[in-house]
Amino acid sequence: MEVRSQKMVIQLYDTTLRDGTQREGISLSVNDKLKIVRKLDELGVHYVEGGWPGSNPKDAEFFARVKGIQLEQAVITAFGSTRRADVLVQDDPNIRALLEAETRAVAIFGKSWDLHVIQVLGTTLEENLEMIADSVSYLKGRGREVIYDAEHFFDGYKADPAYALRTLQMAERAGAECLVLCDTNGGTLPSQLVAIIEEMKKVTSTPLGIHAHNDGDLAVANSLAAVQAGVVHVQGTINGYGERCGNANLCSIIPNLKLKLGHDCISDEQLRQLSSVSRYVSELANLAHDAHLPYVGHSAFVHKGGMHVNALVKCEESYQHVDPALVGNHKRVVVSELSGKSNIAYKIEEFGLDLSISPEQARQVLQQIKDLENRGFQFEGAEASLELLIRRTQPGYKPPFELIDFHVLVESRQGRGMLAEVAIKVRVGDEVTHTAAEGNGPVNALDLAVRKALLPFYPQLTEIHLTDYKVRILDSEAGTAAQVRVLIDSTWGSRTWSTVGSSTDIIEASWQALADSLEYGLLNGLGV
């Protein structure tokens, strides 16, 4: 049973462009950041934290350029710290930079944990309180909406509840619009977090926010628990990007808020953009999109087990907690040694094959899959090879071509370096063609030779292009005698497909994947 909370207006605050870029391996250009701003605005995010003005030239350029972008909803927010110790607030360069960014809202963080005040800032507890009050009051007095981030609040509260509370009250009295409680080290448990929030609600009247890190793998759970405890402002990043183990993942928080807790933080139409926004940001961040992300990952609604697929065909809710279309995703069924007959029937329908397959034929296909996967094949990422395997079980199936034999010669030639030559014999119908080709390696030579043999029969093969070639060692302990798996991606126009081969001989494995690629293209992409 889903838990439904009393509906509240929940503010979504995205810090991908600042906190998210602290992840190791992420560096966004100014153009990247501006593109992401537009996507987040379309998604319906209420606040977008652009960076820390004054900290680096890139963020300074961002705040200068973002002023020229017309946004529908998102409020661009500048981030910074409270004034430094023993510096007048009006003289503090960080505070001046926040004002010069000319954003409607600013977010400033202050220290809640006495350990940080004394050992990190090197100042007194009282001075820290004045730093918080001065900074919030000064920015508020100059027309800014001030969001106060109480850094390390939960750790600070555990260490000294009275002092942590005083820091929060100083920001509240100075006029902060929102008090964001930060689990900066990411180590607070949901039960601890909720108990502390409940105490804060008794002694503060300003709206509370949550900023959770994921070091305990609890950032999303803590954010949702905070909302259920009465927090109305949630901070996070797209895909959970952030330093160390990351931040709270808005791509999980948003659908949970809307679909599970009933908070209409964004519209239904905007929610359907969630998966595409997730992939868009990962692309700009130059990171592979995590296929196993909840809601938005490519595998979030994939079904593999035979019993699962059998139930899914009868009732989709049986193995899906939400309709994937709600978040712009879709369900998939894959086939492996764990599959059942329902998987085969489902894939036949999905492939659009006009085939009538008996239970016995389905069992035969499954047995072939199990035997081949035991030899290193894997069909989850090579569905073109799977479709061909199914087609080949049909009586009367005739492939568009058949390899009779081939011969590979690799040699080093003076002045030309390494050179590969392939002689190949191929049958098309009743006609046998024998030809040869040279390439910059055996796989390239094999590809050129088979195309040379087939082009007189199928001139449309010029439209099929190999776009990716991957080799994986399956048993590294065997060294150079190891079984290898080859995956080939191919295209024809906008169509793409993947094929697989496996052998202890890399050339044979490559031929299996290459032949499947051309056969599939001829049968599906171009026709024969």
How far is the C-alpha of 13 from the C-alpha of 232, rounded, in Å?
11
Radius of gyration of the chain (CA): 30
Among 437, 432, 433, CA closest to 422: 437
Element (H, E) at 116: none
Q: Determine the pLDDT at residue 50.
A: 96
Q: Provide the 8-state DSSP code for 249.
A: B
Among 176, 123, 193, CA closest to 168: 176
pLDDT in tens, 369-405: 777 777 777 776 678 888 888 788 777 788 889 889 8
Instruction: Answer whether 206's CB lies under 8 Å from 179's CB.
Output: yes
343 CB contacts (<8 Å, ≥6 apart)? 304, 306, 309, 333, 334, 335
Among 231, 260, 237, CA closest to 250: 237
Q: Determine the pLDDT at residue 269.
A: 94
Burial-class residue 162 by CB neighbours within 10 Å (0-12, 13-18, 19+).
exposed
Q: Determine the pLDDT at residue 96.
A: 96
pLDDT in tens, 310-331: 555 555 665 668 888 899 987 6
Instruction: Answer whether 198's CB lies under 8 Å from 161's CB.
Output: no
Instruction: Answer whether 289's CB lies under 8 Å from 282's CB.
Output: yes
Domains along the chain with CATH numbers: 11-284 (3.20.20.70), 302-374 (no CATH), 401-457 (3.30.160)
Q: Determine the pLDDT at residue 30.
A: 93
Q: Determine the pLDDT at residue 133.
A: 97
Print pLDDT tens along the chain (528 aa): 243 445 678 999 999 999 999 999 999 999 999 999 999 999 999 999 999 997 888 899 999 999 999 999 999 999 999 999 989 999 999 999 999 999 999 999 999 999 999 999 899 999 999 999 999 999 999 999 999 999 999 999 999 999 999 999 999 999 999 999 999 999 999 999 999 999 999 999 999 999 999 999 999 999 999 999 999 999 999 999 999 999 999 999 999 999 999 999 999 999 999 999 998 999 899 888 898 999 999 777 766 655 554 555 555 665 668 888 899 987 666 554 445 556 656 655 665 665 666 667 677 777 777 777 777 777 766 788 888 887 887 777 888 898 898 888 888 767 667 788 899 999 998 999 999 998 888 888 899 999 999 999 999 888 888 888 888 887 766 676 778 888 899 988 878 888 988 888 888 999 899 999 999 888 875 555
Q: Is 409 helix (H, G, I), strand (E, B) or coil?
A: strand
Q: Determine the pLDDT at residue 311.
A: 53
pLDDT in tens, 2-43: 434 456 789 999 999 999 999 999 999 999 999 999 999 999
Q: Determine the pLDDT at residue 348.
A: 59
How far is the C-alpha of 105 from the C-alpha of 122, rounded, in Å?
29
Q: Determine the pLDDT at residue 342.
A: 60
Instruction: Answer whether 22's CB lies under 8 Å from 31's CB.
Output: no
Q: Determine the pLDDT at residue 15.
A: 97
Q: Determine the pLDDT at residue 44.
A: 97
Among 77, 86, 138, 133, CA closest to 110: 133
DSSP letters, 160-222, are -HHHHHHHHHHHHHTT-SEEEEEETTS---HHHHHHHHHHHHHH--SPEEEEEB-TTS-HHHH
How far is the C-alpha of 367 from the C-alpha of 428, rounded, in Å?
29
Q: Determine the pLDDT at residue 341.
A: 53
C-alpha dihedral sign at 453, 456, 462, 465: negative
Q: Determine the pLDDT at residue 383.
A: 81
Q: Which two tokens stand for residue 274?
A: 């969630």
